[in-house]
Amino acid sequence: MSAFQARLTVDLDALAANFALLRRLAGAAEVAPVVKAGAYGLGSAPVARRLQAEGAKSFFVARLTEGETLRGALGEGASIYVLDGCPAGSAERLIASRLTPVLNSLEQVEAWSAARGGPCVLHVDTGLNRLGLRKDEAEGLAKAQSAQGGLEIAVIMSHLSCGASHDHPMNHRQAESFAAIRALFPDARASLANSGGLFHGGGFLHDLVRPGITLYGGGPFDHADPRIAPVVTLEAPVLQVRDVPAGESVGYDGGFTAPRAMKVAILAAGHADGLLRAQSPAGWAVFDGLRRSFVGRVSMDLIAVDVSEDQAPRAGDMVQMIGPDVLIDEVAAASGTIAYEILTRLGDRFETIYKGAVQ
């Protein structure tokens, strides 16, 4: 272990516990982990391989290249769904890596049919207006399918626009609309829920659910949920502890002035590591079980915390920036964002440790 380097610990046992919880909540529906964007920044290969060892059979990524990499990590057995689908020119590569595209438009449907690519997922839009066929397009396709077949639709899916809001009426409108469209494709399995949808339960579960953030330690409704185990711990070393006389300022722009004589610890982590500048002044870190408030701005490589009151850390001690005592949803709230952005922005100059990795 090299000294004075921030450390990122990814607790794959906690990931497995979250997967087990989601499976219980999903009942008979298959839980297909979403491992796009490098498993939300945690590392797609170690995350997906552990989930596979826990029994996951199907995985979602966003990009073709993510799918190709994941195929290498998971071997032949896994089903890998690519949310970008089959944009022009990508069918051959999808087929070569046996990836299943999520077809998002009639153009993609045509391209995949022409390539005779095999099973696909059909994405229908029910109100998000991002990707997916409109209802009339889905109806037209269903007619053509029953007349001449041609497309092997394994799953029909849609995506919620307000999944993270517990009782938003939009969720129910989308659920109704989805139920009507899925009836047009009676042989396909159906999938509507992300993490939020999974926690809505009942009519949102269908045959397959697609959780991401709740696997990685975020709550389903953009705030911390005690049922979800923290997966990521980010610790930064103390580089120096210094005395700041009353009236002097700390950090760039003189944004913080010591109201009294203070002791501050300077930590080796900053916005280049994923701690957002917006987290000052609301941020805090934990050392020795106590919350230590940020003082001054988060800068690129450094942040200062107030250690006046209690046992001060010493150079080389590690301070928790994110983890069981500083939940990602709390960090996100202090930064004016959501846990997804905190995780996917984590930097790459940490010592990274995977607890419970599959060899």
Residues labelled catalytic: 36, 252
Contact 314, 265 (CB under 8 A): no
Tell me how many residues contact ligand PLP (CB under 6 A): 10
Q: How far is the CB of 174 from ligand PLP (least distance, A)?
A: 13
Residue (36 or 71) nearer to ligand PLP, CB: 36
Minimum distance, C-beta of residue 90 to ligand PLP, in the bound complex (Å): 18
Tell me whether residue 155 or residue 304 sits nearer to ligand PLP (CB atom): 155
Reference 285, options 309, 300, 307, 260; nearest CA is: 307
The dihedral formed by the CA atoms of 163, 335, 41 and 33, expressed in degrees to the nearest 10: -20
CA nearest neighbour of 67 among 47, 84, 55, 51: 84
Per-residue string for binding with ligand PLP, 270-309, x by CB under 6 A? ----------------------------------------
How many secondary structure helices (H) and strands (E) does the chain include?
Answer: 11, 18
Query: Which residue is closest to ligand PLP by CB?
Result: 212
46 belongs to the binding site for ligand PLP (CB under 6 A): no
Q: Which one of the spans 93-101, 103-111, 204-212, 282-290 is the region binding ligand PLP (CB under 6 A)? A: 204-212
**Closest C-alpha to 102, from 74, 72, 125:** 125
64's tokens: 């073709």
Distances (CA, A) of 317 to 286, 351, 357: 12, 15, 26
Q: Which of these ranges, 4-12, 210-218, 231-239, 292-300, lies near ligand PLP under the rule CB under 6 A?
A: 210-218
Q: Which is nearer to ligand PLP, 90 or 194 (CB)?
A: 194
Does 195 interact with ligand PLP (rule: CB under 6 A)?
A: yes
83 binds ligand PLP (CB under 6 A): yes
Residue of 42, 151, 188, 213 that binds ligand PLP (CB under 6 A): 213
Of the candidate spans 5-13, 175-183, 208-216, 318-326, the one that interacts with ligand PLP by CB under 6 A turns out to be 208-216
Sequence-separated (6 or more) residues with CB below 8 Å from residue 148? none
CA nearest to 108, candidates 132, 126, 136: 132
Nearer to ligand PLP, 156 or 286 (CB): 156
What does the alpha-carbon distance between residue 218 and residue 198 come to, in Å, rounded to a whole number?
14
Using the rule CB under 6 A, which residue among 194, 279, 280, 320 binds ligand PLP?
194
Q: Does the protein bind ligand PLP through residue 71 (CB under 6 A)?
A: no
Residue in 8, 12, 34, 45 binding ligand PLP, rule: CB under 6 A: 34
**63 annotated among ligand-binding-site residues:** no
Distance CA 271, CA 227 (A): 29
- Locate 184 and state its tokens: 């047009």
Pairing of strands 262-267, 256-257: unpaired
Nearer to ligand PLP among residue 85 and residue 270 (C-beta): 85
Give the separation between CA 340 and CA 212, rounded to whole angstroms.
9
Binding residue for ligand PLP (CB under 6 A) from 43, 212, 237, 274? 212
Measured CA to CA, the distance from residue 218 to residue 222 in angstroms comes to: 7
Determine the Cα–Cα distance for residues 147 and 241; give it in Å rounded to an integer. 75
Q: How far is the CB of 63 from ligand PLP (least distance, A)?
A: 11
CB of 24 to ligand PLP, least distance (A): 16
200 binds ligand PLP (CB under 6 A): no
Q: What share of the chain is helix, strand, coil (3-state, %, to 5)?
A: 35, 25, 45
Q: Annotation-wise, does 1 bind a ligand?
A: no
Binding site for ligand PLP (CB under 6 A): 34, 36, 83, 159, 194-195, 210-213
Q: Pick out the residues of the known binding site for substrate.
A: 130, 300
Q: Pick out the residues of the known binding site.
A: 130, 300
